[in-house]
Amino acid sequence: MKKILVVGCGISQAPTYTSAKKLGYTTIGTDGNPNSYAHEMPDIFEEVDIRDPKAVLKIAKKHNIDGIVVPGTDFPVTGAYVAEKMGLPGIPIGVAETCSNKLKMRKVLEKSGFNVPSFQAITINHTAEISGKVIKIDENIGKDYPVVVKPLSSMAARGVRSVNNVNELYQAIQKAYLFDKRIIIEKFESGMEFSLDSLVQDGEIFTFAFADRHFMLYPYFIEIGHTMPTILDDWLVKEITEEYEKAVKALGITNGAAKGDIKLTERGIVIGEIAARISGGFLSGWTTPYTAIKEYHSYHPHDDLVRIHMGEQVVFPCIKNNGFSAERTILSIPGIVKEIIVPQHTPAKLIHMHIKEGDEVYFPVNNTNRCGSVLSWSIERNDSINEARRITKKIFIRLAPNQLKTDAFLNNEKFKMFVPGEKEEDWHGMDIQDALQQVIEITGRDDFLKNKLFWEAFYTGGAQGGVYFCDTFK
């Protein structure tokens, strides 16, 4: 039986294991975390640092694999290195390196005539060098705020934030330095943002997904979900897709997959980033099969992804949309998870939690801080969105009492979940009255309503803050 090595055992790789097994291949799973989300899915699991191409090559040779795939994670260099050394299908190492480096990628796209955000790259040798005298910001970049600061090689928006003045700029650079000494500063491009997902074989590009992306918690870029198919008119979808596919070709992605973050702005179509991989999260593995139909059956792009990396010739199908699917994210204030409450009769198959009791949760400053997702499907777009939001509001993460980090957050004046008369909904779309009722239902009491300290915790942390106060101060 032929063997395929899958780089990563996170939730984004789970659909790849399912597809490979369905196609009859033996799966070799690799991850640095032996307790990762999908570590039990492969036939054979090997604990290894997937950022180390040479270490993964040793595993690949040990099992004499017939193919390697890197789905949903930004380590295409690992896959390209192993594929080149073992003569397996894949992309050249140089292409993988370009697509993993925001600066190299931007330069290639800019040189090829594509609209990209104006950018400047800087390298920092030590945090002490972060000062106006040492680092000079290009006036063309920094004079017109807001700008966005990004580590050059991070993923999931780690270390990424928008800034509005020079003081915020240097603070953001210090944070980004924690993830990469190389940093890119770019102009913020205002406009609708989309995710495009593609498979590529022998230079032929098959774009199977075009989704609207949704963000909140500025100045951070927390993706609170996506909706597909897009709300855009067909002619705009065609125009954006054509521009994106030209950019994929310009980057040299000829075999495997590509994932693009594209914006529609006042100056036209802007290419944010293009990765040499299939999408992570839920776009390729869940919402696409929910909405894409091939010959009366759901289309699973990971099937063809596996075939491509195993050297099989793929005939890309003609797919059509079958309703709408929405993903919405579950967030939490800081603390330790005491209990995850999911009401009875909630469709469990639509809920994917990344956390469990006893885990630490954080205020979301990047997309790794998200606690879970709710997926929905409906024949109508608004019905799908409303269903995802409805379920998200019902899931409650109850925090353990007497936690210093939770106390510190609730005493922090920088963030308020609710501001009466100004901000009447929390980040899940629950209004003040419903959030207050949720506190009463979960705690079984209402004697706190005249307590000023309760209201401070409630307005800062929403229903979570209110329940935490009641649990801590019984």
Per-residue three-class SS string for the chain: CCEEEEECCCCCCHHHHHHHHHCCCEEEEEECCCCCCCCCCCCEEEECCCCCHHHHHHHHHHCCCCEEECCCCCCHHHHHHHHHHHCCCCCCHHHHHHHCCHHHHHHHHHHCCCCCCCEEEEECCCHHHCCCCCCCCCHHHHCCCCEEEEECCCCCCCCCEEECCHHHHHHHHHHHHCCCCEEEEEECCCCEEEEEEEEEECCEEEEEEEEEEEEECCCCCEEEEEEECCCCCHHHHHHHHHHHHHHHHHHCCCCEEEEEEEEEECCEEEEEEEECCCCCCCHHHHHHHHHEEECCEECCHHHHHHHHHCCCCCCCCCCEECCEEEEEEECCCCEEEEEEECCCCCCHHHEEECCCCCCEECCCCCHHHCCEEEEEEECCHHHHHHHHHHHHHHCEEEECCCCHHHHHHHCCCCCCCCECCCECECCCCCEHHHHHHHHHHHHCCCCCCCCHHHHHHHHHHHHHHHHHHHHHCC
Residue 32: which residues within 8 A CB-CB, separation 6 or more?
47, 48, 49, 50, 51
Q: What is the spatial distance between Cα 117 and Cα 115, in angstroms, rounded to a whole number?
A: 7
Residue 46 reports pLDDT greater than 80: yes
- From 26-40, 128-142, 397-411, 449-463, the region with the lowest mean pLDDT: 128-142
Q: How confident is the model at residue 435 (pLDDT cuts 50, 70, 90)?
A: very high
pLDDT mean over 198-226: 95
Give the pLDDT of residue 388: 94
Q: What is the pLDDT of residue 168?
A: 81
Class of domain 190-322: alpha beta
In angstroms, the Cα distances linking 148 to 185, 187, 213, 218, 309 are 6, 6, 18, 11, 35
Q: Say whether domain 3-88 belongs to CATH 3.40.50.20.
A: yes
Residue 140's pLDDT band, with cuts at 50, 70 and 90, is low
5-19, 39-53, 114-128, 256-270: least confidently modelled range: 114-128
- Residue with structure tokens 């595993």? 59
Tokens 């951070």 belong to which residue? Answer: 220
CB atoms closer than 10 angstroms to residue 168: 17
Q: Which of 66-80, 90-104, 130-144, 230-244 has the lowest mean pLDDT?
A: 130-144
Q: Does pLDDT of 241 surpass 90? A: yes
Q: How confident is the model at residue 70 (pLDDT cuts 50, 70, 90)?
A: very high
Q: Which CATH number fits domain 118-187: 3.90.1170.40, 3.30.70.2190, 1.10.8.10, 3.30.1490.20?
A: 3.30.1490.20
Write out the two tokens for 53: 């191409």
Q: Is the pLDDT of residue 131 over 50?
A: no
- Evaluate if residue 134 carries a pLDDT over 50: no
260: left (phi over 0), alpha (psi -120 to 50) or beta: beta
Please give the span between the terminal C-alpha atoms of the chain, in angstroms, as a whole number: 61
Question: In this prediction, what percent of the chain has a pLDDT beyond 90?
Answer: 74
Q: What is the mean pLDDT of the chain?
A: 91
Confidence category of residue 164, pLDDT binned at 50, 70, 90: confident
Per-residue pLDDT at 349: 65
Q: Across residues 238-255, what is the average pLDDT?
A: 98
Is residue 293 within 8 A of residue 299, CB to CB? The reply is: yes
Rounded Cα–Cα distance for residues 398 and 394 (Å): 12
The stretch 126-140 carries a mean pLDDT of 50
Q: Which tokens in the block code for residue 336?
A: 């330790």
Distance CA 282, CA 37 (A): 14
Share above pLDDT 70 across residues of the chain, in percent, rounded to a whole number: 95
Report whether pLDDT(59) > 90: yes
Q: Could you tell me the two tokens for 62?
A: 């040990």
Q: How would residue 139 be classed by pLDDT, with cut points 50, 70 and 90?
A: low
- Residue-level pLDDT at 203: 95
Task: State which amino acid sits at residue 319.
Answer: I
C-alpha dihedral (101, 104, 106, 112), degrees to nearest 10: -140
What distance in Å separates the CA atoms of residue 217 and residue 425, rounded to the nearest whole number? 13
Residue 332 burial class via C-beta count within 10 angstroms: exposed 0-12, middle 13-18, buried 19 and up: buried
Topology agreement, domain 118-187 and domain 190-322: no
- Provide the pLDDT confidence category of residue 125 given band limits of 50, 70 and 90: low
Q: Can you give the pLDDT at residue 174?
A: 78
Q: Where are the domains of the chain?
A: 3-88, 118-187, 190-322, 327-472
Say what the pLDDT of residue 128 is.
46
The pTM of the full predicted model, rounded to 2 decimals, is 0.91
